[in-house]
Amino acid sequence: MPDYAWPDAQHRTLIGTRVSRVDSPVKVAGQAKYTYDVHRPGMLYGKVLRCPYAHAKVVSIDTSAAEKMPGVKAVHIVQGPGTTIHWAGDEVVAVAAVDEPTAEDAIRLIKVEYQQLQHLVSDTEPPKGGVQEEGPLSMDAIDDMLDNQVPAGQMVSEIHQYGIGEKPDEARLNDFKESGASDAVLDALRKAAIHPEAASKLPSSYQKAAAQTAGDPEKAFAEADVVSEGLYGVPVITHCCLESHGSISEWTDPDHLFTHISTQNVSGIPGQMAEPLKIPATNIRVHQDHIGGGFGSKFSPDRWGIFTAEISKKAGGKPVRIMLERDAELEVAGARPSAYARVKVGARKDGTLVAWQSNSWGTGGPGGGGMPPIPYVFSIPNQRQEHIAIRNNIGPARAWRAPNHPQAAVLTMCALDDLAAKLNMDPVEFFGKNLTLTKPRENTYREELAIASELMDWKQKWHPRRQIASGDLARGVGLSFHTWGGRGHASDCDLTIHPDGSVDIKLGTQDLGTGTRTCILIVASETLGIPMDAIQLQIGDTTYPPSGGSGGSTTIGGVSSSTRRAATDARDALFAKVAPALNTQPDQLECVSGKVSVKGDSSRSLSWKEACSKLGVMPLTVRGKNPDKSKPPDLTNSGVGGVQMAEVEVDTDTGVVKVKKMVAVQDCGLVIDLKTAESQCYGAMIMGISYSLYEEKVMDPSTGRMLNADMGFYRLAGLSDIPELVVHMMTGKGYDERGVIGLGEPPVISPGAAISNAVANAIGVRVPFLPLTPDRVLAALEQKAGA
C-alpha cells in the first residue's frame, strides 16, 4: 500500500514553511483577470431595475419605451405583475444594451406601478405576547420560503418538523413547482402531517425558533454564589465583497451556456443553473480565474445569474454582463444575521460556572434565522435557551465567514467576562478555571491562553474594572475563545506526468485569496520532489474534476488531501517504470531535489526528466480523491481552538475606541503554508476590528431601505485603524499529526468579543452592542454615571 501519510517534520522541505503566494505576481501587476474584468467579443451590458420598497406588490410594468430605444437588445421581466417583493432592491426588470450608459437610460424609461405593503425592518427586542409558537406552516409560509430562496433541505426539515396547515391540491403543488420548489420539497408537502386548526392563524413576524433546557438551571441559579445579568448584541452587517456579485453569460449554441461568474463554488454552479434554465448541467460550462472576495456570500448563481443567462438567450445568445452596482451589492447580495440576548450566568465564589440562561433574538431577513450556538465553547452544566427569529424585510441573509459563531462569541464571552468582573477575578484566571468545560479542546486552549497572555503582556495590562474620570484616555484588555470544524470537503484532483517531465494538475476548485493555489503546489512539489514552478496548476473551470465549494474552512483539507493522493499514486506509477533502469525495486526509490534515486544511494539516480522519459509516449494521469477510505490514512481532520486578546484605548470625551494591539493564537492541525496561514489570521483580526467598531447595515424604519448602501457610510476599517497585530500558529507535536484543518473561519470569530471585553475593562462598563461606536460608548458612560 502506498504511503499517503503526510511526511514527518524531518522529511518535509516545503510543508509548514513560509512560501510566497504563487498568484501574487499577477495580482500586483494588475494582470489577474476577475469575472468583472472579462470582456467577451460583442458583449452586451446589463442593468437591473430594482424595487424601491421593502414590501410591495408589483401592479404593472411598462417596458415599451425601453424596448424601442436604439441600442437596447433585450428587456426581461424578472418579477412580473402580481409578484410580492419582500425587500428593497429586489430585481424587477433587467435590460441588455450595447453599452452601459444606454442600459442605464433604458432602465429609466421603464415604468413600474407598485402597491406598497406594510414592512418591518427592525430587529429590536420582540414585543411580549407577539410571538408565535412554533407550529404548522401555512401555504403562504411555503410561498414565502420559495420566494426567499430558502434552501430545499431546510424547507423539507421544517415541513417535516412542523407539519402544514392545509393539504395543498395538485394545482397548488404545480404553482410551487413553478416557483422553484424541488421534488424533495413537493414530496415532503404531499406526505406532511396536516393540522387544519392552525390554518386560520395570522402569521407573525416573531417566531419562537428554539427552546432548550439541560440540567436544572433553576436550582443551579438558586445555589450560585454570584449571578450576572446583561444585554449583548451584534447587528446585521454585510459581506461587502470588493468584487460585486455577477456574471457574464453567453449561449455557444441554443443548448449550451458558457458563464463566467464570481463564485466560491465553481463545480457546484451548473447543478444550480440547470433546472431554472431547463438544460442539463453538463451543458453548462463555468469559468473563473480569480474572485474578488466571497466571505460566504457567493455559493449560488443567484436569481441575477439565472436571468443574465436568460437575457443573453433573448439577445440571440450574445454575451451579457451583469455585475451588481455597489448599492445593490450591499442591499441584496449578502448580510450576516443579527443576534441579541439577555443573558444570565451563575458561578460559585471560586469562579466555577454553574448556570446559563439566555433569551435571544435576531433576524436573518425574511427567513428568520436560527439561534447562535450559545453558550459558546464552554458547556455550562445547567442551561436554558430560548430564541425568537424575526422575519422581516431587511433582505435575505447569507453565510458570513464562520456563520453564527462571531455572534455566539459576543453573546457568551461578554456575559462571562461581566461575571468575572462581578467576581472581581482576572478573566485569564476565570476562563482558565473553567477550561474543563471546553472538552475536547481543553489542553489546546490552556496552551493558547498562556501563549496569548505572554504575547499581550496581559499581567501588566489587565486591571480590575474601575472608575474613570471624564476626559481620561482609558486603556483596557479583553479576551475571547472560539472553535470551528474545518474538515476537508470532497475534492477530485487529476495529476498528469508527461514523458518530457512536465507536470500538470487540474482541480475544479477556486482560490478565494486564501492561498489555495499555493498550497496545492506545495503539496505536489513536496510529494514529487520537483520545484513548484515546474508544475502547471489549473483551477476554476467545470471541465476539471469537481471540488467542493469554498465555505466553512473546508477547502485546504480537501484539496491538499486529493492532491497528496494523486501525487503519491503518480509518483509510485513512475517508480514502477523507472525501477528496472536503476536495477532496483519500485519501493526502493524516492523523489528528492528533482531526482529519482535509490534510497540511501544517491549515486544511483536519474534526473526527473530522464525518469519521466521512461514513461514512453503516453502521459500518465491519475486521480486523487478526498475523502478516500481505500487510501488511508485520513489526511484531514476537524476541530480547532483559538484564543484572541485585544487592547484598546477609549477617549472618554469623544467615545472613540482605538484598538492598540491584538494577539491571535490559533491551531489548524498541519499547516501547509505558514505565510498564507498567518495572513488568514492577520486578515481576520482586521475584518474583526472592522465589524467591532464600524460595520452595521442601517435600516430606515419609515422607508424600509438601507441608509448606508455605499462605502462612505458603510465603513470598512482602513489602514490607519489597524494596530500592532501578533499571530502565533500552534504547530509541532500534538498539532501536526492531526492532519490538515481549515483556517478561514476560526480567527474571525473572536475579535468582536475580545474588543468589547477590552472596552468594558477600559471604561468599567459594558457597551452592549457592536459596533462600538462613539455614541454607544458615551451612552454607556452616561448610564454608568447616572447609576
Contact region with another protein (CB under 8 A), list: 24-32, 130-138, 406-414, 604-612:
24-32
User: Min. distance of Cβ 237 from another protein in angstroms?
Assistant: 12
Selected from 146, 266, 291, 449, the binder of another protein by CB under 8 A is 291
Question: Nearer Cβ to another protein, position 388 or 717?
Answer: 717
* Cell numbers found for residue 174: 404545480
Selected from 315, 394, 449, 684, the binder of another protein by CB under 8 A is 684
Given a contact cutoff of 8 angstroms between Cβ atoms, the answer to whether 18 and 274 are in contact is: no
Question: Nearer Cβ to another protein, position 362 or 747?
Answer: 747
Contact region with another protein (CB under 8 A), list: 88-96, 178-186, 672-680, 768-776:
672-680
Note whether 707 binds another protein by CB under 8 A: no
User: Min. distance of Cβ 592 from another protein in angstroms?
Assistant: 27
Contacts 24+ apart (CB under 8 A), 679-683: 679/515, 680/514, 680/515, 680/743, 680/744, 680/747, 681/727, 681/729, 681/743, 681/747, 682/725, 682/727
Task: Please report the sign of the dihedral spanned by the C-alpha atoms of residue 25, residue 29, residue 35, residue 40.
Answer: negative
Q: In the beta sheet, which residues pair with residue 258?
A: 250, 285
Contact region with another protein (CB under 8 A), list: 64-72, 383-391, 432-440, 579-587:
64-72
Contact region with another protein (CB under 8 A), list: 8-16, 92-100, 123-131, 569-577:
92-100
Question: Nearer Cβ to another protein, position 91 or 327?
Answer: 327
Question: Nearer Cβ to another protein, position 22 or 505?
Answer: 22
Task: Please report the sign of the dihedral spanned by the C-alpha atoms of residue 154, residue 160, residue 165, residue 167.
Answer: positive
Given a contact cutoff of 8 angstroms between Cβ atoms, the answer to whether 137 and 162 are in contact is: yes
Helix/strand/coil (H, E, C) string of 155-173?
A: HHHHHHHHCECCCCCHHHH
Q: Report the first-to-last Cα separation within the chain, whole angstroms.
A: 72
Selected from 295, 304, 356, 481, the binder of another protein by CB under 8 A is 295
Note whether 671 binds another protein by CB under 8 A: no
Size of the site for another protein (CB under 8 A): 63
The three-state secondary structure class of 443 is helix
Note whether 20 binds another protein by CB under 8 A: yes
Contacts with another protein in 312-371 (CB under 8 A)?
Answer: 325-326
Q: What is the DSSP letter of 40?
A: -
Question: Nearer Cβ to another protein, position 363 or 550?
Answer: 550
Q: In the beta sheet, which residues pair with residue 482?
A: 642
Selected from 11, 39, 190, 459, the binder of another protein by CB under 8 A is 39
For residue 472, count CB atoms less than 10 angstroms from its CB and return exposed for 0-12, middle for 13-18, buried for 19 or more.
middle
Helix/strand/coil (H, E, C) string of 341-407?
A: EEEEEEECCCCCEEEEEEEEEEECHHHCCCCCCCCCCCCCCEEEEEEEEECCCCCCCCCCCCCCHHH
Contacts with another protein in 220-249 (CB under 8 A)?
Answer: 240-244
Question: Nearer Cβ to another protein, position 604 or 715?
Answer: 715
Note whether 720 binds another protein by CB under 8 A: yes
Contact region with another protein (CB under 8 A), list: 8-16, 207-215, 366-374, 705-713:
705-713
* Cell numbers found for residue 222: 438558586
Note whether 23 binds another protein by CB under 8 A: yes
Pairing of strands 353-363, 589-592: unpaired
Contact region with another protein (CB under 8 A), list: 30-38, 190-198, 475-483, 598-606:
30-38
Note whether 568 binds another protein by CB under 8 A: no
Selected from 8, 10, 30, 278, the binder of another protein by CB under 8 A is 30
Report residue 690: phi and psi, to 5°: -65, -50
Residues 737-756, mask of contacts with another protein (x by CB under 8 A): --------------------
The Cα–Cα gap between 762 and 479 comes to 13
Question: Nearer Cβ to another protein, position 216 or 325?
Answer: 325
254 Cβ contact partners less than 8 Å away, ≥ 6 residues apart: 317
Question: Nearer Cβ to another protein, position 243 or 386?
Answer: 243
Question: Nearer Cβ to another protein, position 28 or 469?
Answer: 28
Contact region with another protein (CB under 8 A), list: 25-33, 47-55, 189-197, 309-317:
25-33
Note whether 674 binds another protein by CB under 8 A: no
Note whether 32 binds another protein by CB under 8 A: yes
Helices (H), ranges, 197-301: 217-223, 269-277
Give which of 660, 665, 644, 647 is closest to 721, Cα–Cα.
660
Helices (H), ranges, 649-696: 674-693
Question: Nearer Cβ to another protein, position 133 or 710?
Answer: 710
The three-state secondary structure class of 248 is strand
The percent of the chain in helix, strand and coil, each rounded to the nearest 5, is: 35, 25, 40
Residues in the chain, overall count = 787
The Cα–Cα gap between 577 and 586 comes to 8
User: Min. distance of Cβ 565 from another protein in angstroms?
Assistant: 28
Given a contact cutoff of 8 angstroms between Cβ atoms, the answer to whether 498 and 782 are in contact is: no
Helices (H) and strands (E) in the chain, counts: 21, 28
Note whether 13 binds another protein by CB under 8 A: no
Question: Nearer Cβ to another protein, position 33 or 463?
Answer: 33
Note whether 774 binds another protein by CB under 8 A: no
Selected from 7, 52, 71, 546, the binder of another protein by CB under 8 A is 71
70 Cβ contact partners less than 8 Å away, ≥ 6 residues apart: 102
Note whether 41 binds another protein by CB under 8 A: no
Selected from 194, 199, 455, 711, the binder of another protein by CB under 8 A is 711
Q: Which residues bind another protein (CB under 8 A)?
A: 20-21, 23-25, 27-34, 36-37, 39, 69-71, 98-102, 105, 108-109, 240-244, 290-293, 295, 325-326, 512-514, 675-676, 678-679, 682-687, 690, 710-712, 716-720, 722, 725
